[in-house]
Chains A and B, each alone.
Chain A
């Protein structure tokens, strides 16, 4: 068979080697644009699992590679004058140049024909004369571009600027340095090798402030050497090809073209941000899978290359996902500078979603114990001297004079059992049953502040003495079972979304005309095409609804609730004002975000005035409409900031459902990510509404400053039963 390989990096070399070794009669020719001894980049990093794969694929080079390895397992973080180490991560690294030397010699030995300083101008022609063409030509692959119709590449760029340097200063472990100067916040990713690798990353703004867009190489290096003098200890920074880039994110619809038998491999097919250090590792794993494809299907190239992509794609996609989280973290790390160093580091270590609180404990028990002690000291000051402090989930949270004893919350979904707003026995029992489980906060389901504010005919209410009495008895019952659990009530008023049948058989199915009541909303926009058209609220309606909220709050206080939550989301009345997709008003309540916030804030103020000062008020705030031209995260930051000014104590972050035709994401982390961004951008306590099922989830979110409270759905409690 006649195989041509474009690109002489580790991926191309390793693929050539493995294919030739296993099929000595094949003609394998490799083309590399640069001289044999030229290498960009400095060090590369491997993890344990890659190593065993290398050993199995080619023992000889595995020995030579591991001989050159420098191994380490801690990650060091320098931030705000503090230095924190977390161990147990297990890395191995070497110089990229050394790896290439080893692979090149071995290729030579098995008989791969290699042409250096040879450009391939026309991959098409080369494909025509090959039985297999391997495009291992990097992130700017010519092979990929030539067959772009087939591979359908999608290439985007990260926001941050970065540059690679080497230095003789020995860094002995993975080292992250976050340093602020007058130009902005700088991030360094440094790791060991015969020479250390030193990557500098910053926002474009910082980069311009520092004048790096104009500085010469010498001036640029001098600037950085001066800034990091305390870490470099007098060693120089060295640059091979001085230049600042944005990280290219490469994805392809497919990596194989089975009419022409072309495959993409390594960066040509997929990139992953350098902060998770996997580029070379992925390229070499690709090479192994390609070779294995031909072992599986020796007589059938098409089957072999299909097998290759099938094998690799899931692993690569998982890594790319983690890499995306990690890249975005480093691009927006300014957001987290409000955190104290201990939490900053915990947040950083758990950023990609792959390492949880428990996982960190397995890697480095001492680090986690130290973190727990710090967290306990910060929240209650009583456990500081203990060797083992209680984990973050079990630390109390103070909101005004109310102390939530731990960070788990139950917040059941709406049910439909009430009669004229009077909660049913089952609805009341749900509160007391959940209240006996020991979580810190139990919320009621959404409770309507008026008869026309109900979602379904069975929505429980709080708009008359009889409603107040019923809730008061449930609160009393719950207190008997557990006197520490705090109790919250969520108040809602239906908007365009209301007067529907119960949710058991699907959502938003309108009631028959005879049973329905007239709906109010910011504008006369129906929720679905079959929904009732609501009345756009006039001044009288606004006054009346505001008073309804205030009256309900008075009753809620009398009933004994500790915390009050106003529902600003999910398409109900207050959400209809916030979202530009449902607010078409041209008065002072429509248009700009400031205007759209006006009525919800009026209601908030009215409620805050009635609710006792010592008790907290929370708002269930949407992070996004998940729809084009809708309310988005930037609006949520602004709304959160305004609410905080008005005395809001907690934001419960939700997303979507403000319109029926939104496009939500069901990535299990998505609500947590929104919560984290709002919490840290606005700097206000937040509750995540992620679907979390384990205490590890809660510890990870609370420890990492994703949330201060977490809605929790443990396996043994059916939070949403009824």
Chain B
């Protein structure tokens, strides 16, 4: 298993300097990929543009949207953005897509919330056609387009993984929760007769450095996930606040067969990067 790190693109008070420095450090450090989230009605950066800046500042590290809410964008525009980023990063993009559960995001971009599932299925089907076709360029660097991961935990979501994805990206939670959904992704994969195994990605949240940081991280998560009701509490409860918790979490994910685990900051401070890099670098040699 490999470990990646999230760019703080949905935290307040982030600027160009922090973003670029975070990306450069990650590339020099123990991490194999950079992740970003996607939210419209929130104080946050656009995921593709954030990754584009990171692409310019780095050479090797993988760039992943984890996730982008696909149906918030038109199919052609999404295909073009992803293909562009793939080309300009030299084939480093992993495109993680899911539905996103925020109604207000859908309202803000004037697209229908209710039918998003159906449109998402169609979108996944069409993305590859755009990438393989000649009408809308550029041609992605990666064969057949960027690596495509599909998220969600409903039955239709697993169906999409089996039909359209290269793998599955899990929504977060303890290793046991990941294991349960990973099993379904594998089942869907096998059921659809896809060769090999689906690539499996997971993610978690961290706030290192003591109670004050932990409380800040917790507040951010309760705010970011406020729309999920009682579930926000469960997400906040899962915040990793000590090196010990990080190590256990990473090992747990590895045992459950995760291929790439992304750890996202919840406090916008370069010190958070350093603390995580130290834990992951010391305790975790990767593969």
Contact = CB atoms under 8 A, between A and B. Distances in A.
Partners in one complex: yes
Name the residue in A309, A689, A722 with the highest tally of chain B Cβ atoms < 10 Å from its Cβ.
Answer: A309
Nearest to B154: A666
A104 to B, nearest CB: 31
Interface string B158-194: 1100111110000000000000000110111011111
B128 A506 contact: yes
A657 B190 CA distance: 13
Nearest to B257: A715
B125 interface: yes
B125 A666 contact: no
A666 B163 contact: no
B229 interface: yes
Interface size class on chain A is: 35 or more
Contacts of B124: 506
Contact of B128 (A505, A529, A666): A505
A507 B191 contact: no
B195 interface: yes
A506 B233 contact: no
Given A530-B129, A666-B158, A503 B233 contact: no
A117 B237 CA distance: 42
Given A504-B195, A505-B166, A665 B190 contact: no
B128 A509 contact: yes
A508 interface: yes
B156 A413 contact: no
A721 B190 CA distance: 11
Q: Helix, strand, loop or mixed for chain B's interface? A: helix
A507 B230 contact: no
B227 interface: no
Contacts, number: 94
Nearest to A670: B187
Q: Helix, strand, loop or mixed for chain A's interface? A: loop
Interface string A687-722: 001010000000000000000000001000010111
A414 B193 contact: yes
A665 B184 CA distance: 9
Interface size class on chain B is: 35 or more
Contacts of A662: 159
Contacts of B194: 413, 503-504, 507, 720
A663 B156 contact: yes
A506 B230 contact: no
A144 interface: no
B178 to A, nearest CB: 14
Interface string A292-336: 000000000001001101100100000000000000000000000
B159 A664 contact: yes
A11 B200 CA distance: 42
Interface string B182-212: 0110111011111111000000000000000
Interface string B113-142: 000000001101100110000000000000
B74 interface: no
B155 interface: yes
A226 to B, nearest CB: 48
A254 B192 CA distance: 34
Interface string A237-259: 00000000000000000101000
A624 interface: no
A721 B163 contact: no
A720 B125 CA distance: 24
A506 B129 contact: no
Contacts of B13: none
A415 interface: yes
A625 to B, nearest CB: 13
Contacts of A720: 190, 194-197
Interface of A: 254, 256, 303, 306-307, 309-310, 313, 413-415, 503-509, 528-530, 570, 656-657, 660-668, 671, 689, 691, 713, 718, 720-722
Given A505-B166, A666-B158, A722-B195, 10 more contacts: A306-B230, A310-B233, A310-B234, A507-B163, A528-B125, A529-B125, A656-B191, A660-B163, A664-B158, A713-B190
7 contacts: A310-B231, A310-B233, A507-B162, A507-B194, A660-B163, A689-B191, A722-B195
